[in-house]
Structures are given as C-alpha cells and as structure tokens.
Chains A and B, each alone.
Chain A
Amino acid sequence: MSGDETPLLAARDIAKQYGSVLALRSADLSISAGEIHALLGANGAGKSTLVKALSGVIRPDAGTITVSGTSVRPSSPRQAARLGLSPVFQDPALVPDLSVAHNLRLTGTSVEAVRANLASMGLQLDLRELVDDVPLPMLRMLDLARALAQDPQLLILDEITAALPSDLAERVFTVMRDWRERGRSVLFITHRLREVINTCDRATILRDGVNVATVVPQEGGEAEIVEIMLGPEAARAEERAAELTEQEAPVRAPVATATEAEVVLEADDLHLGSVRGISFALHPGEILGIAALEGQGQDELFEALAGQRKPERGEIRLRGKPLRARHPFDAIRRGMVLPGARCDVSRAGTSRRSRSPAGSHRVSRYSSATTPLEASTWARSGRCTVSFASWPRMGQRSSSSAPS
C-alpha cells in the first residue's frame, strides 16, 4: 500500500493549543493514494483537532501539510475543498433553515451529482425539503453525497457511522470501497474497531496529541489496537474491568430476580417523539444501560425521565407511583436526577447560543458541573441552595472559537 511514492496527504508535527489545553502536541499523518486510512484514538486524543486542521476549520499552531508533495495551508473549509479535501463532520454542515437544494447551491455543489450519489446509495430525498425537517441519519448521508459530488482526492469521514443504523453504515462502507477502487483515498475516524479491521488498509493511532503508531489493522487485531490507543497500563485496567464484570454478572442476575416485586423506576409503553412504546423496569441496586444509535429516541426518553418533556402516551412510575413531572424540579424532588449530560440538544436549537460552537463549549462545561450529588442535595433541602461549585467565577470568560 504505502510504498515510496509521494503520499497523497502528509501532515507533519501538527500542534494546536486551545487556551491552556494542548489538544495536539505533534501529530504526523500520511495517506497514500488509493487507501482507506483510519484515524484512531481515545476521546481527547486529538483526532477531531487533526481533522479540523486538515479541513481548514482551525489553523494549527505549528506543522506542515502537503498535498501530493505541495505544501499547503488550508485556512477555510472552502479552501480545503479546493485542494481536494472534502470532510464530512460529526455535525452535518447543513444549514437548518434552508432547503436541501439551497444548501447545495450554497456550497456550489451540483444538484444532479448529489442526486445521483444518493440514488447510488439507494436513497431518495425531495431536495425542496427543509434541512430542519430531515432526520439526522439522512442528513449524514446527504452530507456524504455532497462531499462525494465535489469529487475529492481525499474524503474525510469524522465518526460518520456513529448515528447510522447498520444498513446505512453498510452503504457508507460500500461507498468507501468504491472510492478506493477509483484510486482515491478516505480518511476514516471511528470508535468501532470492528469497522476498522473490516474496511481500512492502515490506521494511524493518536494518544495524548501524538501519533503513537501506524498499523495495518487486519494484522494486529482489536486487542493490540486498544493497547496502543490507551497505553499498556490503561489497556490492562480495561481488560481487568471487563473480566470482573463477566465474573460478577451471573452473581448479580439472581439478585435482580429476587427483588422483582420491588421496582424503583418503571416505564410503561412510553410514546414520545421517535420513542414508540418503550417499557422497562429498574430494580434497586441495578444499573440499566440503554443502548441506541444517536438520535434514536434516547434523548426524548431521558428528557421524559427528567421531567423535561411530557410523554405523549404511557406512564413513568417511581416506586409504584406515577411520575407526573411538569418540570425537572418535580422529578428531582422525587429523587430522580438527570445530571445534565444531555443538555446539548443542538438540533432543538432552543436558543441561539446552543447552536453556536461557543454555546456548546459552555454546555459541556456545565454538564460536568451539575453533578447528581449536588442536585440531589439541593432537592432534599428543597431550597435554592444548590452550589454550582464549578460555575466560572464572575468575569471569567471561556475561550470562544466561534467564527465571527
């Protein structure tokens, strides 16, 4: 694959610092023509920062980028596109208040090409639709179709499969393989190692802002990649944890059945938005996991549990008594706390700021600030004495990376 010829894209020593946080220390990346290259790393390893540097969203503090041997400095997504680098970001780069067709015109993309690309993926979409009305998985595919229509040398896919049901994800892989067959390249960022091993030719692994290895995924296998990603100690800890759960699992199961009569939280045929008839029961001492792809109704479910939204149908029962919360306050008073993790409902767009990067930046800060402990302390005392311990002090500003 790699050979000695000039790589299609080579990034050397890319560094980027946000305020006092060093997001990328020194990252190298080399992608040859005609390969599917994976970019791997734990959360915070710097994958997204590197992608943003390649696609011109941010300017790195240091480092060089060359495309087919020529040194380039992409300073905007638009310029990156001209260099043949087309990214598909985690958040679709589609403007919600415009129709799909207008979004295409905005980026100067050929409507026919996009329609053809969608059709080749077996998808149909009325292009007069407002982006706001189109469901998220469809928007991802549309974004992909648009990137393809620009006929890029390098297609950059940032966690595109995270929100896609498996059949759509399959189509994405087909597209990636087709693209490779045409002699073009794909840079693929994902958390799912299975996908990497099945699809990718090589993988570059980042850890703490430095690239630690470039591997051929088929040769190493998952365990090796995890070890490189996390560092040997963390990987071992992870392994131990996995073993522990496996050992304990059979012990715990009978406990749950034994106390079946005592149900703490019960959802009965909940209907709300895309939630259609969800039921479950939660017993004391139990941890219930809810697994779903992005945008499959878990947001609505959590909002209903937190008292943020009322279910259209069905009932939530807390210790047998129905929870008719009209406000999170009511839920908290009854001892149910949603620790603000899902407050960045970016598509809901309730306020201008929740749409802007600056807003989401701050949202994430607060998510960690409102711990369940604090909230429940507050709920118990029933008075407004909650201490937002890590609210920023007065006058302290967050760095805002919003384009002005």
Chain B
Amino acid sequence: MSRNGRGRGAWRLGMLIAVGALAVAVAATAGQARKGQGGYTLGLSNTLVGNGWREGQLCAFKAQALASGKVDSLRIAHRATDTAGQISDIRAMISAGVDAIIINPSSPTALKPVAAQARARDIQVVFIDQYVSAPGVYNASNDQVAYGRLGAIWLFKKLGGKGNVVEMRGIAGVPADTDRHKGFQQALKAYPNIKVVKSVFTGWQFAPGAKQMLDILNSGTQVDGVWTSGIDYTVVDAFKTAGKPYVPVVGADNYGFVRQLKSRFPTFQGAAVTNPSSIGGVGAAQAIRLLDGQKAPKWIKLSPDVWTWPQDKASINKYARAGAPADASAQLQIPPWTTYTLKQYAACKGP
C-alpha cells in the first residue's frame, strides 16, 4: 500500500508550518523598550456586558481617567467572556504595557496567578465590585453580603416581621448573587415568621424577571413582599399588569426603580439598596493614586445605603433624572474618590 503519501505529506506540511511559525515569531521578537513616564495607561477588564450597571461602571472608569488628567490612554476589555477569556484579556494588557489594571473579576480565586504575573512586572492591580484576596493587589468593592442583608432587613421590618416573601435572585453561580443570598439568609434568621414562598433566578434580566413575577402573582400565591437582586422596576410593573395591589419591593438604585419610589408613593413603597456602578471610577482613582506613589487603602469597601421615599428625598431627588436609562445605576458619585462631572460621565468618553 503506497497510497498514503497524501496523508504523510499533509502532516509533514503541518509540522513544517508549525516550526516555521515559531521561527518567524522568534525572529520578530524585537527589543522591548519600556515606555516613558509621560502619562499612565490604564486597563479595565470586565466580562459581563449588556446590563446598565456594567455600562455605568465602564463610563465611570472612563470619566474618572479623563477627569484625573494623568491618564494617556486606556486598554478596555469590556466584553462577554468567561474566566479563561478574562485571564487572556489581562495577559494582553500586560503585553500592551499598561501601568495598572482594574479588574471586575469573574472568579474570586482564578485570577490570582495572572494578577501575580502582573504584579511581577510592577503593574498595579485593582479588583472592583467583587473582593479578591491576593498579595500586592488592591480592592474596591460594594459589600454584597451587606447589600442582601440590609435590603432584607428593611423589607422584613416593613412587613412587621411576618408574611410571605419572594426572593428574586440574579444568575446562579455568580459570586455577587451568592454573597447577596448569604446576606438575605442572615437577615432571615432574625425573623422566624417570614416565609420565603418562592426563590427564583432572574438571570439579572428585566423581561424574564417580570414574567416570573407575573406567574407567581397569577398562581394565587399570597405575596406580602418582594426582595430583588436588582431586577426591580419591571417587577413593580408586574403588579400593575397583574392588577394586584403593590407590596413592598426591595430593589437597587436603578433609575427606573428610584423614579417609581418617588412617583408612585404612597401606593407603592419600596427601598433602593445602593450598589453604585461608579465603583469603576473608584477603581481608576485608586490606581492613579498608587501610580502617583501615594498611599491608598488596600480595600475600599462601600457599605450600601438604603433609600426610601420620602426619608431619603435628598439623595433620590439628586439622582432621579427623567431621561436616564431605567436600568442604569443612579448613584453617580462616590466622594471623595470620583472627581468627574456628570457631563463627563454621560459622555462616556475616556482620554
């Protein structure tokens, strides 16, 4: 059988090409000049796109970089990907020679090795939104356990410690969801007469969340209060669609929800637990401070506020702008860290 020449030929060809690729690549390795100290280059890595919160985080990051006046250019990896993809993005940023990387981590543990690689090259690393513990890195995050707990406590108190509650979670398996659920459970322990009649995952999507609420309401289940992981204003609307009286709802500081708090009072009452997406700006500010050689806290931990109408009229009025997208986070400024103007934020343009 002398007829397998084609197969061997193809294989030989493949090997040749592979070896050739390596050779050319080696030859192309030019000198690596470390870039000058003209200005900083910041990187942002984010793996979840498509919701207003993450878009707000990106805009805050860009606006803060611009407002600081110390940043020359940005490398932004704001795309839907998984942990492996995020690691790959971070490596690409290392190759691009950034001075600091701000990371919204997709996993609390998996990014440690690549963070160490960055630190070994003297690149500052700041994790935002979710806490990551690793040597030499900085954190800026909202306290998600507290987020779950504070909102739940408000709700349970509002119900007088007794009644049927629906828990509307986010995406199964995402750390923030797990942490919030943990907080919710902590609060639940103190209120034995609160019954969780339904616990559903909304996937952090507004339309399916509303559908689930409609189903629950139509099933005839007695619902006295709803805790949501931020899928809030469509849930409130679901009561209206179903023709049922409003019950207290806990949501996030989304514009849509905040506007409802204000405009539908007193028939509808709820609480917005702040989870500012401006954390992106905080991360940028923290990184710039580190690059400037100043000291910065290892962990900027933001405790959520609970806004209710009319008690927190001032905050709500400050942020509840009419034209803003309903799913964007309302709390735009986190003093003293963010220094951008609202206009810079709205423009969503970096340096």
Binding site for B on A (CB under 8 A): 99, 101-102, 105, 111, 127-128
Contact = CB atoms under 8 A, between A and B. Distances in A.
Interface string B1-39: 101011000000000000000000000000000000000
Contacts of B1: 105, 111
Contacts of A111: 1, 3
Which interface class (under 10, 10 to 19, 20 to 34, 35 or more) fits B?
A: under 10
Interface of B: 1, 3, 5-6
A104 to B, nearest CB: 8
Nearest to B1: A111
Nearest to B7: A102
Given A111-B3, A127-B3, A128-B3, 9 more contacts: A99-B3, A99-B6, A101-B3, A102-B3, A105-B1, A105-B3, A111-B1, A128-B5, A128-B6
Contacts of A105: 1, 3
Nearest to B3: A101
Contacts of B5: 128
Nearest to A101: B3
Contacts of A128: 3, 5-6
Closest 9 CB pairs of A and B: A101-B3, A127-B3, A111-B3, A111-B1, A128-B6, A128-B3, A99-B6, A105-B3, A128-B5
A102 B3 CA distance: 8
Nearest to B2: A111
A50 B228 CA distance: 70
A99 B5 CA distance: 12
A127 B6 CA distance: 11
A101 B1 CA distance: 10
A11 B59 CA distance: 81
Contacts of A102: 3
Contacts of B6: 99, 128
Nearest to B6: A128
A261 B234 CA distance: 80
A101 B5 CA distance: 11
Nearest to A112: B1
B10 to A, nearest CB: 12
12 contacts: A99-B3, A99-B6, A101-B3, A102-B3, A105-B1, A105-B3, A111-B1, A111-B3, A127-B3, A128-B3, A128-B5, A128-B6
A111 B2 CA distance: 9
A99 B3 CA distance: 10
Contacts of A99: 3, 6
Contacts of B3: 99, 101-102, 105, 111, 127-128
B2 to A, nearest CB: 8
A103 to B, nearest CB: 11
A102 B1 CA distance: 11
B213 to A, nearest CB: 37
A36 to B, nearest CB: 33
Among B1, B3, B5, B6, max chain A CB count under 10 A is at B3
A99 B10 CA distance: 14
A228 B138 CA distance: 96
B264 to A, nearest CB: 49
